[in-house]
Each structure stands twice: as structure tokens, then as C-alpha cells.
Amino acid sequence: MSCRVTPAVRSMENAGVAFQLLEYDYDPSADAIGLQAAQVLGQSPSTVFKTLIVALDSGKLVCAIIPSDTRLNLKAIASAAGAKKAELSDPKKAERITGAISPLGQRKRLRSFIDASAPVLNEIVVNGGQRGLQMVLRPADLILATSAMVVSFAETSARKPSRPSSGRSTSPPVRARRCLNCGPVLRARRALGPV
């Protein structure tokens, strides 16, 4: 997979924000894509944030950014957005409207909300605008770039990251490489045993 300059990457470059790209082999069959990304990249699931597009009862869509090891409290996001009810949007519809399920570089910029756990972290990881591409940046930069409102709306998830069936290590080998368009990119590969 080669790194592309996505609208999300372009938006951060244009804003002059420091970020790092992480690239990994996306698994569309994973039960929890955010947890799978965290595992493959060797990141804590509480620092890898997933982007959820939420449909309000008014018909408007909003963007919720929460840690990958949590669930979205739909009542809390509805209340924060000034609505009575909310539900997760159809992913295909959401992607058609935003261009990609990323909080950054959206085709139609949605009102954004980020979980209150983000500002206390040194850095967070969010979708970089394409499957298998993640962006590491400071939470304050993401909040500023998305004009996100900080709200407590994530609930602890009962779901645990899946463990490999064999006794092999889950720490992926990561190798640095340079992308002509985006500078240094780290690429993680799923560990398949001793190298």
C-alpha cells in the first residue's frame, strides 16, 4: 500500500500542524476496526480514536470522535448536539457525504464532538483519510482543526481486543519508510512469527 496525500493529510499540511502518518494492513473483516488498528500499530486502544458519523433526529449528521476501546453514548451525543435522539449513520451514506470516515478533510464538514478523554493525552491517533492510514497528532491540534466540542460521551466497552489464536507476539514489526508526497511514514505489519 502506498501513502497518498488524502484530503485529511492536505488539511493538516495547509494548517501547518505537525503530524505523523502510520500505515497498516487494513482488515475489513475485523470485529472492531479501531481495536485492530491499535493492535497492529502497537498503540494503546485509548489513544487510537475512531470516527463515528451520527444521524440526529433533525436529519443532520455530526461527527463523534471517541477512543477505540469505548462505545458511543447516543443520548449524550444527541444532548450535546441539541437533539432529542441520535443513531449511527449508515456508513455508506456517511462516506458519500464526508468523502472518508475521518474527522479531517471532510468533503462536507460536519459539526464535530470529541470525547473528554482526548485533551489529557499527549497525542492521539485518528483516521488519515483512507483505510489503513492513521494520523498521529496532538489532541489540541485536532480540536482546533475540527472546531470540535469536547464532551463526555464515551462509555467503557465490554469488548476486548481479539488475541491471536497462536502464542505469537502481537507486537508488530514497524519499519520507517519515506513517502515522496508525505515525508516519513511508519508502516506496521502484522507479526507472523520470528523474523
Q: Convert the pLDDT of each residue in 87-134 to its tens digit.
A: 999 888 888 888 878 899 888 899 999 999 999 999 999 988 888 888
The strand pair at 183-188 and 124-130 is best described as unpaired
Q: 19-29 in b/e burial notation, b at 16+ Cβ within 10 A?
A: bbbbbbebeee
d(CA 18, CA 11): 11
pLDDT at 176 over 50: no
The predicted pLDDT at position 185 comes to 45
Segment 10-28 shows an average pLDDT of: 86
pLDDT for 65 beyond 60: yes
CATH superfamily of 7-121+138-159+169-188: YbaK/aminoacyl-tRNA synthetase-associated domain (3.90.960.10)
Residue 3 has a pLDDT of: 56
Domain extent listing, the chain: 7-121+138-159+169-188
Secondary structure class of 138 (helix, strand, coil) = coil
Tell me how crowded residue 133 is: count the other CB atoms within 10 A of its CB: 24
pTM of the predicted model, to two decimals? 0.77
What residues contact 105, with CB distance under 8 A and at least 6 apart?
6, 7, 8, 9, 10, 11, 99, 129
Longest dimension (CA), the chain: 54
